Structure 1
């Protein structure tokens, strides 16, 4: 009809991309051309066989920087790795022979005496030294001030309380159990005293108790490498098992019936139970003890620090056994 050929869009303009020629422009013909043989399943990125092969290759390759891992405690509770951040803290930890799995150092760090000592000590102890970005150090240290250096401490491998019952161990058995001690520094001090006075191990409960953290390692001054620390799922049941094995259980409490110098069981296999400074021994633990012992002291002081009380008691036991001069 007249006029229809003149309406907008009815005629393709000569300047269009497709041009004035009617047809597909050869696009359909190219689409019908073959693309070669179909690739194998292992060569196709979207196929599960390709992804499985890549996963297998990644597990076979060594990792540059191992992330923080988790392990199981003796009682089944997960214990994650710990990171010590800061130049002074790292150097003190390395001096105290704290076990370490890696030393992270920021690239282009301003080196000083502490950094050089940390690097030398780590190299002497064959601790892997890894260069890390500061953002990675921020993540590892959970935002703490790291000053460009951090030390990764692996989870402590706790023994089982039954491992401390060893008839072939030299000397008369002596074990210290902790009831409600939540300060890692007290735990480290007690481990050090156990090593100093001939003890054979320390028992901590799984709940409401300090663990062998880097702070406990530092306070023990390396004694934790020689004295095993066992973790008990139930401390009362563990004490009962010690009694069945022939141990006498002595609890420390300021209201004890027996003064420390008057203890007559020092030459027997012993478990010394130390309670918290504030609450003392829990009821079930106190009922499991054969004797409740108190440390004589001036009336001006209400109680002793748990670590100090354990040290005084261990010294007196060692003195009566003839081990302390």
Structure 2
């Protein structure tokens, strides 16, 4: 089971028809979003239970909950072939591959940016990427309930499959041979790959990309947080596609 903490994430999960078993609300909670939670939960016949402060704090631990916790059944991942087929319903499919990003806050923030950018699906590595947990759910601000996610063992195997399905592979990398991120034409099926906080995408992954792109740095620090960089790249892809 997965706990969802916070008023907005819980409300977003309800509205997305997430598989929620029960919602716990601490006694004395009021406000517009609390009222919306009650209304949305009642409509979907989701049980709400009010808890005393002592019981609620025990359930919450040291998490910032804003007085609301939802219990959701474990996240259901998509099959890779199903994800690709679903993405092809878009004029220009856009998939995001996360290669070994280990910080749960970064993964959550990336999922939030991806949902806002309208990506068709996210692909995670199974063994070297942060797990989908409560921190990811909270950091995504509810976006986790709306995105399609697939877990795979090998990014390189998926790259091969995606190329066979007509995708162009774009990797984020600060290497000298990388193009500036706004110099690539993204009006095509694109799979964008972002990598580990310290090491970036793996060497073999980079070699298998059709394009490597970078965001120019103007200050003294030569790299952005991976979640910030991902947002910039995704919205550049959208900007180009919307120029038609």
Is TM (by shorter chain) over 0.5? Answer: yes
CA-to-partner distance for each residue in 1:180-221, whole Å, 9 max, x for gaps?
112333333333333333421111111121333344334444
CA distance in 2, matches of 1:194, 1:132: 35
Report what 1:112 is aligned to: 29
CA distance in 2, matches of 1:147, 1:92: 9
Report what 1:205 is aligned to: 125
Compared CA separation, residues 293 and 127, structure 1 to 2 (3 A): same
Is the aligned partner of 1:151 residue 2:70? yes
Report what 2:167 is aligned to: 247
Given that 2:8 and 2:141 are in contact with CA atoms closer than 8 Å, whether structure 1 keeps it comes out as no
Residue 302 of structure 1 and its aligned partner are, at CA, apart by 1.7
Compared CA separation, residues 156 and 259, structure 1 to 2 (3 A): same
CA distance in 2, matches of 1:307, 1:184: 11
Is the aligned partner of 1:195 residue 2:115? yes
Is the aligned partner of 1:298 residue 2:218? yes
Report what 1:97 is aligned to: 13
CA-to-partner distance for each residue in 1:115-156, whole Å, 9 max, x for gaps?
964555543443212467989767755x55789864212211
Report what 2:189 is aligned to: 269
TM-score normalised by L of structure 1: 0.61
Given that 1:134 and 1:148 are in contact with CA atoms closer than 8 Å, whether structure 2 keeps it comes out as no
CA distance in 2, matches of 1:93, 1:136: 21
Q: CA RMSD in A?
A: 3.2
Bigger Cα Rg? 1
CA distance in 2, matches of 1:150, 1:205: 28
Compared CA separation, residues 244 and 306, structure 1 to 2 (3 A): same
Structure 1 stretch 178-187 or stretch 118-127: which is displaced more? 118-127
Written as runs of structure 1 = structure 2, the 5 A alignment for 1:116-265 is 117=35, 119=38, 122-130=41-49, 144=62, 150-166=69-85, 168-257=88-177, 258-264=179-185
Gaps of 5+ in 2: none
Given that 2:100 and 2:129 are in contact with CA atoms closer than 8 Å, whether structure 1 keeps it comes out as yes
Structure 1 stretch 163-172 or stretch 277-286: which is displaced more? 163-172
CA distance in 1, matches of 2:204, 2:193: 12
Gaps of 5+ in 1: 1-80
Aligned length: 235
TM-score normalised by L of structure 2: 0.79
CA distance in 1, matches of 2:67, 2:218: 49
Residue 282 of structure 1 and its aligned partner are, at CA, apart by 1.6
Compared CA separation, residues 136 and 252, structure 1 to 2 (3 A): same
Q: Say which SS state the counterpart of residue 176 (structure 1) adopts.
A: strand
Compared CA separation, residues 172 and 137, structure 1 to 2 (3 A): same
Compared CA separation, residues 305 and 130, structure 1 to 2 (3 A): same
Residue 251 of structure 1 and its aligned partner are, at CA, apart by 0.9
Structure 1 stretch 202-211 or stretch 255-264: which is displaced more? 255-264
Given that 1:181 and 1:209 are in contact with CA atoms closer than 8 Å, whether structure 2 keeps it comes out as yes
Residue 277 of structure 1 and its aligned partner are, at CA, apart by 2.4
